[in-house]
Structure 1
Amino acid sequence: MAIPEFVVALRAKIGHDPLPLPGVIAVVLDDHDRVLLVRRSDTGDWTLTTGCLEPGEQPAAGAIREVREETGLDVTVERLLSAEALDLSVAPNGDQIHWLAIGLQCRATGGTAHVNDDESTDVAWFEPSAVPPLPPHQQRCLDLVLSAKPSF
């Protein structure tokens, strides 16, 4: 996974110490309310589209950018789903991260879903009942979409 340049610069100063970072989780739906998933190249797991926000980037803009970068799709953001501080995570290289995960419901508006970068090996639409297991914080976002209730 490509590490944003601002994170590389911060890591040069703080090493592997815990770093708080804002990220987005995009629950992308198509016109048939199927869910877009990507298969991660590092783990092989199916996940929702996620990514780190750039400094000063608004969450909706970040979600739109991440979906386009990873899948080639254009989306519009329909609503905020959640804002959740995740437990400390440790990357394979030892970097410690405290993610603030912002969940957004998005709707595909153009393009054709395909692998568009090296972060994934596959992209596919799933019926909600056929979505494979997701990380718990991503499943909570999907559950909010399916129940049509925001978490706050």
Structure 2
Amino acid sequence: MPTPDFVLALREQIGTAPLWLTGVTAVVTRGSGPDRELLVVRRADSGACTPVTGIVDPGEEPAVAAEREVLEEADVVAVAERLAWVQVLPEMTYPNGDRAQYLDLVFACRWVSGTPFPADGENTEAFWARLDDLPEMPATMTARIEAVLADEPAARFQR
């Protein structure tokens, strides 16, 4: 589902005014060493390759949201193992005029099972890519991947 029902309900009340939302980025890896792979999706709206991203539902634990988004978007079961980065993204305006700003929580996730495919229509592709052969991605996404791969014991945060 591209836009959660709770966001649509809020939009009925506030129109295109800015919404403050919590988002997750699930950086899912499998394997180890030179064969380690990253789960990649190609977004239907922009054509960009990215890790799985999504919005946390009201009352939902963020790690659970990351795992849910991976299952919904790529039909892959993954476990969130570590919070890697907490950041506020710049305000964005969608093509319909809706404005939003996200608190983005980047999770390091481990693959458990499943063969990726674009399960819910938000993406046109879902696939594994070796870390040494990733497709071109926006710099904002490669920074999130780098934060996960750095394997730091504590989450990064901005000041």
- Shorter-chain TM-score: what band? over 0.9
Give me the identity figure in percent.
39
Superposition deviation, residue 144 in structure 1: 1.4
Q: Following superposition of structure 1 onto structure 2, how do residues 3-152 of structure 1 map, counting pairs within 5 Å?
A: 3-32=3-32, 33-149=36-152, 150-152=155-157
Distance in 2, Cα, partners of 1:135 & 1:89: 15
- Structure 2 contact 48–138 (Cα < 8 Å) conserved: no
Say what the alpha-carbon RMSD is for the aligned residues: 1.3
Structure 1 unaligned spans of 5+ = none
Distance in 2, Cα, partners of 1:79 & 1:131: 22
Normalised to the residue count of structure 1, the TM-score between the two structures is: 0.94
Q: What is the count of residue pairs matched by the alignment?
A: 152
Structure 2 unaligned spans of 5+ = none
Superposition deviation, residue 135 in structure 1: 3.0
Distance in 2, Cα, partners of 1:136 & 1:25: 14
- Structure 2 contact 42–48 (Cα < 8 Å) conserved: yes
Distance in 1, Cα, partners of 2:143 & 2:49: 15
What amino acid maps onto 2:26 in structure 1?
A
Q: Secondary structure at the match of 1:42?
A: coil
Give the stretch that moved more between structures: 21-30 or 31-40: 31-40
